[in-house]
Chain A
Amino acid sequence: MYDQDFRDSSVTLSTGDYSIRPEGQVLIKSHVRLRPFFKLYIINVLMQLITLGFYRFWGKTEIRRHMWSHVECLGDRFEYTGTAKDLIKGFLIVLVVFLLPLVIIRRVASVFVIVGMEISPKLLIAEYLINILFIVFFFSVATFSARRYKLSRTNWRGIHSAQKGSALVYGLLYVGCVFITLLTVGLAWPACSVVLMRYKMAHTWIGTQQLGFEPSIGVLYKSFVVVWTALAGLLFLEGYFFQTLLLEFYQYLQESDLEMAVMAFMTGLPGLLFLIPVVPGIPLLLWYRGKTLHHFVESSSFMGRRLSSVITGWGYLELVISNTIMTVLTLGLAVPFTMMRQLSYVEKHVGLSGDGNFAELLQSEVVKPGAGEGLADAFDVGAI
């Protein structure tokens, strides 16, 4: 019964061309097999239906435990030591100190609106902006603390990892980055993304050893210039198309043919909202993300060993788009398979070179957080 699971036969996954191997040995090797993993996922979905979603804490824990213990790094499997109890504690804390006050304030405010209290438009705009700021800030705080929890519950060779640094500082950095990026029409984003990533990576510890992270902003700008120019072109095209559409609309309107005017405008909408911005825009951004990932991996080191990467913009683009299509077409049933494909992509595109002696790696002295991911759960970013 137990021996059955030890067989190292994994489902063959094809995700592009792997003739180019990363330098050194593989960083991780996935032994996740589709059938048991899919079964776990389905049980999770059904139990969440029965318990109105309450099972998510247990489901997430079970799935992580399974994944971690089936992924090998240098001959040893990872171990996930988190529990559903931790996640529930995190949820309850956020419920009491964050969600409850927030929901009550919002509800009371909406009652005032119903009763017809005078609210000036200025106040409404201010409220809107504060809301966005609030969401961006707490969203980034949530992702940072979720990372802290996950790392603290990830063991390798009996040594646990840790995320040092402050979630609030990271949240402020993030809000600042969003502002600067908006002010510079996007041009500051690569520099900003390096600042944010460095804050996360340089504060990441495995046992007593810190992760090394030395990216070069210049490298990122090389690919960013391409994306930025293309996006600017798209924006120009969008403006031109919108203008033509408006002209057509007014022409019909002057002929007082309202129906035709609306018709002409409506037929242009798919192009305006989807064909011009989304169809080329999203692949462009994914391509850039692949390039960034490649550079970030190559810039990372640990105990004298360097990570190597053969991740490409196109390969990453292909992976994400195909995974998304599969997920949508199967209404989410393909999620375990797409997760396996992600693992497999890392397995084939990330390597570890150089030699460092892990015997010197000692147990972390960072105190583990007692509860986890409440905020991430509230924002629904606490995916596996």
Chain B
Amino acid sequence: MLEPSEQALYRAAYYDGKSAVRHEVAVHLREGALDIVTSDGTILDQWLYREATFADQGSGGIRVAKTDSEARLIFHDSTAFTALRARAPDLHTREKHARRGMMVAIISTVAVLVGVYFLLPFVTAGIVSITPLSYETRLGKSLSTGVVELFSDEDSKGVCDNAEGAMALSALVKYVSQYTDPPLTYQVQVLDIDVVNAMALPGGYIYVFRGLLEQAEGEGELAGVLAHEMAHVDLRHPMHGLVRSYGMSMLSDMMFGGSTMGSMSSVLMTTSYSREAEEQADVAAIDSLDRAGLGAEGMAKFFERLRTAEEKSSLGLPGFLSTHPESGARERRARSGARSEARAVRKILTTDQWNDLRTICE
């Protein structure tokens, strides 16, 4: 394979891996193997070329190791190393080692994230399905107390419950929930917060914020929002969310030691799951509204106003950063999904009752 002229002698230091004695040697690159020769011609060792691996390259020279042993050759000039490298197939440089490490690290990170992304919903669903409803009720009760406390201060009285308003609310809830399928009783309450929003907690707790009540133009819009939150309860979404965020923060703590990037990636994942849940809730809400003979027009109107408000505020968060689907898309779905569009939308509350409900916080 190699011409005799290419067979060369190079100076090196040799440690046999058995004692700490330093041998000044000549390395004879022969065909198929290298000889380690002392000045008096004794051959100390022979290495096959495939046994030679790169150890390190420091201030003392380039260190070459014999695979699976502590024996080392140290070359002081790069010509010797280059000549050896031309023959030894596994003699990579430090740069190649480092690049391979980087690739493996990046690929494994991506693989772990993708794996978690696809497996987490299944694991979450499994845990939620074995969680008893009695447990969820207790959990929801304690969480809802926390939420009410969080929002009660000097300017806000927490839960709004004047008698007439509460009666109107329960009438509306009763009507909207005719065709829903709740695993738990709905506990719908109005919170004294000037924000256009509503939320569902584990245990069937649904909170409508005062801001939404004041903005809503007619009971149909409020019914739409209620149906949406009820759908979340029916599908046990709040419980899913809780289990998921627990699992995710656990994983992120363990894998990445609670790094910022770790929590950022879990936020991104959460938003994606939550958009999916919102879409499911929209579909279920449209169905139950339809069956109750209410139609989804109110819901569509609500999304329409949400969209114009979003356009005005022009925050313009891209879809993947938002926890909710784009309002325009939700509006279109509500309009097209309802089968009873032609049917006259039923009135549930009298004008007086509707006014009572809107002033429930006064």
Interface residues of A (CB under 8 A from B): 1-3, 5-6, 8, 31, 43, 47, 49-55, 57-58, 61-62, 65-66, 68-70, 72, 75-77, 79-81, 84, 95, 99-100, 103-104, 107, 111, 114-116, 155-160, 207, 358-363, 380
Q: Which residue of chain B has its CB nearest to the CB of A103?
A: B250
CB pair A6 B70 closer than 8 Å: no
B15 pairs with A62, CB closer than 8 A:
no
- Decide yes or no whether B18 CB sits under 8 A from chain A: yes
Which single residue of chain B is at the shortest CB-CB distance from A209?
A: B20
Cβ–Cβ contact B78 & A52, under 8 A: no
- Most-contacted residue by chain A among B19, B55, B59 (CB, 10 A): B59
Check A72/B60 contact, CB under 8 A, given A54-B255, A54-B256, A114-B143. Answer: yes
The listed residue (A3, A47, A50) touching B77 by CB distance below 8 A is: A3
User: Which residues B11-26 have CB closer than 8 A to chain A?
Assistant: 15-22
Complex-state Cα separation, A57 to B101, whole angstroms? 9
Q: Which 6 A-B pairs have CB atoms at the shortest separation, nearest pair first?
A: A69-B58, A158-B15, A31-B59, A2-B78, A58-B101, A77-B60
Minimum CB–CB distance for A363 against chain B, Å: 5
At the interface, yes or no: B44 with Cβ under 8 Å from chain A?
no
> Is there an interface contact between B253 and A207, defined as CB atoms closer than 8 Å?
no
Which of chain A's residues have a CB closer than 8 A to the CB of B16? Answer: 158
Q: What is the chain B residue whose CB lies nearest that of A363?
A: B18
Contact yes or no, B59 A8, CB < 8 A: yes
Which residue, A2, A58, A104, A359, has most C-beta atoms of chain B within 10 A? A2
A58 CA to B102 CA, complexed, in Å: 8
Q: Determine how close the nearest CB of chain B comes to the CB of A112; give it in whole angstroms.
A: 10
Say whether A158 contacts B253, CB under 8 Å: no
Chain B residues with CB under 8 Å of A116's CB are: 138, 142
Chain A residue nearest in CB terms to B143: A114
Contact A158 B138 (CB under 8 A): no
Given A52-B256, A114-B139; A157-B20 close (CB under 8 Å): yes
Residue of A nearest to B61 (CB): A6
Task: Say whether B105 contacts A47, CB under 8 Å.
Answer: yes
Residues of A within 8 A of B77 (CB): 2-3
Contacts of A68 in B (CB 8 A): 56, 58
Q: A43–B101 Cα gap in the complex (Å)?
A: 12
Q: Of the candidates A75, A207, A380, which one forms a contact with B257 in the assembled complex, judged by CB atoms under 8 Å apart?
A: A380
Whether B62 sits at the interface, judged by CB under 8 Å, is: yes
Q: Is B129 an interface residue (CB 8 A)?
A: no
B210 at the A/B interface (Cβ < 8 Å)? no
A114-B139, A159-B19 given. 13 additional CB < 8 A pairs? A3-B77, A31-B60, A52-B259, A55-B101, A58-B105, A69-B63, A80-B56, A81-B55, A95-B254, A107-B246, A115-B138, A115-B142, A358-B20
Q: Is the CB of A5 within 8 A of B70?
A: no
The interface residues of chain B lying within 8 Å CB-to-CB of A51 are 105-106, 108-109
Task: Tell me the minimal C-beta distance from B116 to chain A in angstroms.
Answer: 11
The 8 Å CB contact of B57, one of A49, A53, A69, A360, is A69
**Residue in chain A with minimal CB distance to B250:** A103
Shortest distance in angstroms between A48's beta carbon and chain B's nearest beta carbon? 8
Report if A158-B254 is in contact (Cβ < 8 Å); known contacts: A51-B109, A69-B59: no
Given the known A-B contacts A80-B56, A116-B138, A159-B20, are A2 and B62 also in contact in the complex, defined by CB atoms under 8 Å?
yes
Inter-chain contacts of A358 with B (CB < 8 A): 20-21
Using Cβ atoms and an 8 Å threshold, which residues of chain A touch B78? Answer: 1-3
Query: A residues within 8 A CB of B101?
Result: 55, 58, 61-62, 84
Cα separation A155 to B56 with both chains bound (whole Å): 12
Sampled A-B contacts (7; CB under 8 Å):
A2-B57, A55-B102, A62-B98, A69-B58, A72-B60, A79-B55, A160-B70
Within 8 A of A (CB), among B77-107: 77-78, 81, 94, 98, 101-102, 104-106
Q: B9 on the interface (CB 8 Å rule)?
A: no
> Given the complex of chains A and B, what is the CA–CA distance between A343 and B22 in angstroms?
25
- Pick from B17, B63, B143, B256: contact of A363, CB below 8 A: B17
Residues of B within 8 A of A380 (CB): 257
B216 at the interface (CB under 8 A from A): no
Which residues of chain A are near B143, meaning CB under 8 Å?
Answer: 114
- Distance of A95 Cα from B105 Cα, bound (Å): 18
Q: Contacts A158-B72, A363-B19 hold; do A53 and B60 have CB atoms under 8 A apart? A: no
In the complex, the chain B residue whose C-beta lies closest to that of A115 is B138
Residue of B whose beta carbon sits closest to that of A84: B101
Residues of A contacting B18 with CB < 8 Å? Answer: 158, 362-363
Q: Contact string, B287-318, partner A, CB cutoff 8 A, digits 1/0?
A: 00000000000000000000000000000000
Say if the beta carbon of B345 comes within 8 Å of chain A: no
Identity of the chain B residue whose Cβ is nearest the Cβ of A359 in the assembled complex: B21
Nearest neighbor of A47 in chain B, beta-carbon distance: B102
- For window 121-147 of B, CB contacts with A under 8 Å fall at 135, 138-139, 142-143
A133 to chain B minimum Cβ distance, whole angstroms, is 22
Nearest CB in chain B: distance from A170 CB, A: 24
Nearest-CB distance from B45 to chain A (Å)? Answer: 12
- Residue numbers in B under 8 Å from A363 (CB-CB): 17-19, 70
Residue-wise, chain B 244-272 has the 8 Å CB interface mask toward A (1 for contact) of 00100010011111010110010000000
Q: A47-B105, A53-B256, A58-B101 are in contact. Are A359 and B19 (CB under 8 A)?
A: yes
How far, in angstroms, from A107 to B248 measured CA to CA in the complex? 12
A52 touching B265, Cβ below 8 Å: yes
Q: Are A103 and B254 neighbours in the complex by a CB distance under 8 Å? A: yes
Interface residues of B in 316-362 (CB under 8 A from A): none
Distance in angstroms from A208 CB to nearest chain B CB is 9
Chain B, residue nearest A88 (CB): B108
Give Cα A95 to B251, complex, Å: 10
Interface centre among B16, B78, B101, B246, by most chain A C-beta atoms within 10 angstroms, is B101
CA of A115 to CA of B146 in the docked complex: distance in angstroms? Answer: 12
Distance between Cα atoms of A54 and B251 in the complex (Å): 13
Question: Is the pair B59, A70 in contact by a Cβ cutoff of 8 Å?
Answer: yes
B71 interfacial contact with A, CB 8 Å: yes
Q: How far is the CB of A102 from chain B (nearest CB, A)?
A: 9
Give the residues in chain B near A77, CB-CB below 8 Å: 58-60, 63
